[in-house]
A and B are shown apart, each in its own frame.
Chain A
Amino acid sequence: DGGITQSPKYLFRKEGQNVTLSCEQNLNHDAMYWYRQDPGQGLRLIYYSQIVNDFQKGDIAEGYSVSREKKESFPLTVTSAQKNPTAFYLCASSIPGGADNEQFFGPGTRLTVL
């Protein structure tokens, strides 16, 4: 059953700690994305990767880091430099330039920093 998994669903951390959110896909998609959602706002792009070992900053990359060592995996680290890390984080994947350019989304991780 192909799809995108994100774990955990809920995550709590103390202020000042780095935390890594997991995103795995078995859709054989080259491109992967991380979005952040805050109440009343649209999804904002944090980082994206169109191919293994390459990634680009999105609109709100400050305080975040990513890696793309494998096609299936695109973990996001929320560092202590991120001023407002409490949010809902969504991971997505797509076939770059594929038909309709549809992005497929995971179920999300809600991060709360105490």
Chain B
Amino acid sequence: ILNVEQSPQSLHVQEGDSTNFTCSFPSSNFYALHWYRWETAKSPEALFVMTLNGDEKKKGRISATLNTKEGYSYLYIKGSQPEDSATYLCAFETVYNFNKFYFGSGTKLNVKP
């Protein structure tokens, strides 16, 4: 079982704050890194999939970067809003088994109005 770690485990910020969190994964045999947002009482939804070292993806106020050589990805949220409150999951794919995702335990973000 491959180890994927996310930090911090939880985060409480005020509306308008910018925040970021980390996903660490094995740097060898990398194929792809996925970010999901999981709101309470809903299904996890895909945010980004990143495959190349140095990749940067952006969707609105949320962006992500990828460093495959050192095995980490950052997720940034600029100007957090209460609707950003959710658990953010990352998942790692290896070249040996596409489609088999290894998930981190998630970062639970709470944005207070």
Contact = CB atoms under 8 A, between A and B. Distances in A.
B35 to A, nearest CB: 11
Interface string A33-51: 1010000111111001010
Given A45-B100, A97-B99, A102 B49 contact: yes
Interface in B64-113: 89, 91, 93, 98-106
Interface in B4-32: 4, 6, 9, 32
Contacts of B106: 42
Contact of A42 (B45, B49, B89): B89
A97 to B, nearest CB: 6
A43 to B, nearest CB: 4
B59 interface: no
Given A59-B1, A101-B98, A107 B42 contact: yes
B44 A105 contact: yes
Interface of A: 4, 31, 33, 35, 40-45, 48, 50, 58-59, 90, 94, 96-97, 100-108
30 contacts: A4-B43, A35-B103, A41-B105, A42-B6, A42-B103, A42-B105, A42-B106, A43-B91, A43-B101, A44-B103, A48-B99, A50-B99, A59-B1, A90-B43, A90-B44, A96-B99, A97-B98, A97-B99, A100-B46, A101-B32, A101-B34, A101-B49, A101-B99, A102-B46, A102-B49, A103-B91, A104-B43, A104-B46, A107-B42, A108-B43
